[in-house]
Chain A
Amino acid sequence: GAGVSQSPRYKVAKRGQDVALRCDPISGHVSLFWYQQALGQGPEFLTYFQNEAQLDKSGLPSDRFFAERPEGSVSTLKIQRTQQEDSAVYLCASSAYGGGGAGELFFGEGSRLTVL
């Protein structure tokens, strides 16, 4: 379909492994967001891109988390040396609009990461 696509849908990692989560936004969407959703909680903001520029990374919990969107389309969230507290669903969302305002965000189904 034409929605936001995330892969893998499920990832199990051993503590200390590196993982990479991919997001394919809706074609042409300017803004891209990553959120982390712990079990039973609301999504927490991680980082925001406008095209290829990472304008806000204030929500990244540590320097083990890194996100990129080199060509302003597909984005990758990388987590190095995973810890058990990184276990969560990672959500990607995109919007046709840049900056602020009330433009609708379209969410992917998420990548569920389990760290053993």
Chain B
Amino acid sequence: GNSVTQMEGPVTLSEEAFLTINCTYTATGYPSLFWYVQYPGEGLQLLLKATKADDKGSNKGFEATYRKETTSFHLEKGSVQVSDSAVYFCALRLNQGGKLIFGQGTELSVKP
């Protein structure tokens, strides 16, 4: 079946630290891959996406590269800020049907 697995949280970092949140997937076919972010008290927002192998999605200093050979889409940021504290969800979407399949989420807490 199709599924997404993320590293468990919570992840606690100091401001300006390097961030990696691991995400791997299992899919029949060739999915598009996404990272969504949920800030406290807000709805899910698209952070970045990649639609094919070797694509790199980037936004707000975050990056993730679609790695078909390792079925991974790890999220990275070189220097986190307190305002990055949120829950991050990795997701895949297959072309048929359009529904997103989410990982369980990783909570990030950045301390000043």
* Interfacial residues, chain A to chain B (CB-CB below 8 A): 3-4, 31, 33, 35, 40-45, 48, 55-56, 59, 91, 93, 95, 97-105, 107-110
| Pairwise interchain contact A40-B100, C-beta atoms closer than 8 A | no
| Pairwise interchain contact A42-B104, C-beta atoms closer than 8 A | yes
* Interfacial residues, chain B to chain A (CB-CB below 8 A): 4, 32, 36, 41-46, 49, 51, 89, 91, 93-105
| Pairwise interchain contact B104-A101, C-beta atoms closer than 8 A | no
Binding site of A, secondary structure by majority: helix, strand, loop or mixed? loop
Residue of B nearest to A98 (CB): B98
| Pairwise interchain contact A100-B96, C-beta atoms closer than 8 A | yes
> Given A33-B99, A45-B99, A102-B49, A40 and B44 touching (CB < 8 A)?
no
| Pairwise interchain contact B46-A101, C-beta atoms closer than 8 A | no
Further contacts, 15 of them, CB under 8 A, given A41-B104, A110-B43: A40-B105, A42-B91, A43-B44, A43-B89, A45-B99, A56-B97, A93-B44, A97-B98, A98-B98, A99-B95, A102-B49, A104-B46, A105-B46, A107-B43, A109-B42
Residue of A nearest to B45 (CB): A107
11 contacting pairs across A/B (C-beta < 8 A): A3-B43, A35-B100, A40-B105, A42-B104, A56-B97, A98-B98, A99-B95, A100-B97, A102-B49, A107-B44, A110-B43
Name A100's contact: one of B93, B101, B103 (CB within 8 Å).
B93
Residue of B nearest to A104 (CB): B46
Name B105's contact: one of A42, A95, A100 (CB within 8 Å).
A42
> Given A41-B104, A42-B103, A42-B105, A100 and B43 touching (CB < 8 A)?
no
Smallest beta-carbon distance A56→chain B, Å: 5
